[in-house]
C-alpha cells in the first residue's frame, strides 16, 4: 500500500469564507488549475467515480486529488494507486470543508504543473453545500439507491451544483428510481444544469462525464 500524506486541517473562523474562496478561485485561474469540488452522500461512489475518471484522463492531464475525510485514509490509498498526486485531508470531525481548509489542502498538495485538482469533500449532502471552497466548479453525485427525491429534500446542494452525476445506473432494475422524475426534481432546484447518468462500476456513461470535465477545463 502507498504511503499517504495526511494533513490535519484547522478551521479559521476569523476570515470571511466567501472572500477567501474568491481569492483561491482567482489564484487557481491564473495558474491554469481547474479545481472540482466533488460532493455526495456517504457511499454514493465519489472515490470509485474519481478513480475511473483519472484513469480515462491521466494520459492527457496532470491530476491532483485531495481526499477529505473525518477519519481514515482508505480513499486516498485507492486514488494513489491510479498514479495521481494525492493527499488525505482530515477534518477532525468537521462535516464539511471551507475555503481556508481547502487552501491548506492546496498548499500541502502543491498545484504547480497540475491541470485538474479534485477535492473529494466529506460525504454529506447538507453542510458542504453551505461553504464555498474556492472551487472552479461544484459537482454533486447522487446514486440510484438513494432515490429520485433527493433534490426535494436537500435543496441547497442542487442549487450550488454545476453538474449532477447519477451513479450506480447498473442497479437501476433493482430500485424504484425514476430517472425522468429525478431530472425534473433537479430542474426545479437548478434549471439548466446537466444531469449525467453513469455507472462507475461498469464504465457506462463515463465518456459523457469526461467530455463535460474537458469542456470545463478548456474554458
Interacting residues with a second copy (CB under 8 A): 41-43, 69-72, 74, 93, 95, 122-127, 130, 143, 145-147, 149-150, 152-156, 168, 170-171, 174-175
Q: Which candidate, 162, 170, 166, 217, places its Cα nearest to that of 193? A: 162
- 8 Å CB contact between 46 and 140: no
- 8 Å CB contact between 47 and 55: no
Nearer to a second copy, 71 or 112 (CB): 71
Nearer to a second copy, 130 or 207 (CB): 130
Nearest distance, CB of residue 214 and a second copy, angstroms:
29
Nearer to a second copy, 34 or 131 (CB): 131
Q: Residue 102 class from Cβ within 10 Å (0-12 exposed, 13-18 middle, 19+ buried)?
A: buried
Nearest distance, CB of residue 45 and a second copy, angstroms:
9
The DSSP secondary-structure symbol of 60 reads T
Judged by DSSP in three states, 165 sits in: strand
Nearest distance, CB of residue 159 and a second copy, angstroms:
11
Nearer to a second copy, 191 or 218 (CB): 191
Amino acid at each position: 500500500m502507498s504511503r499517504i500524506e495526511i494533513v490535519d486541517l484547522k478551521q479559521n473562523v476569523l476570515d470571511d469564507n466567501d472572500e477567501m474562496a474568491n481569492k483561491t478561485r482567482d489564484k487557481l485561474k491564473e495558474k491554469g488549475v481547474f479545481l472540482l469540488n466533488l460532493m455526495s452522500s456517504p457511499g454514493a461512489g465519489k472515490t470509485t467515480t474519481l478513480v475511473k475518471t483519472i484513469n480515462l484522463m491521466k494520459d492527457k492531464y496532470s491530476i491532483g486529488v485531495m481526499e477529505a475525510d473525518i477519519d481514515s485514509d482508505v480513499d486516498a490509498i485507492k486514488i494513489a494507486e491510479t498514479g495521481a498526486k494525492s493527499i488525505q485531508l482530515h477534518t477532525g470531525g468537521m462535516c464539511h470543508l471551507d475555503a481556508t481548509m481547502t487552501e491548506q489542502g492546496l498548499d500541502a498538495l502543491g498545484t504547480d504543473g497540475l491541470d485538474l485538482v479534485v477535492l473529494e469533500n466529506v460525504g454529506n449532502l447538507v453542510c458542504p453545500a453551505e461553504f464555498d471552497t474556492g472551487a472552479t466548479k461544484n459537482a454533486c453525485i447522487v446514486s440510484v439507491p438513494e432515490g429520485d427525491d433527493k433534490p426535494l429534500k436537500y435543496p441547497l446542494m442542487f442549487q450550488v451544483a454545476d453538474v449532477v452525476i447519477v451513479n450506480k445506473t447498473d442497479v437501476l432494475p433493482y430500485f424504484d428510481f425514476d430517472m425522468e422524475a429525478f431530472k425534473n426534481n433537479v430542474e426545479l432546484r437548478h434549471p439548466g444544469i446537466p444531469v449525467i447518468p453513469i455507472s462507475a462500476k461498469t464504465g457506462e456513461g463515463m465518456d459523457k462525464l469526461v467530455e463535460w470535465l474537458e469542456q470545463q477545463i478548456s474554458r
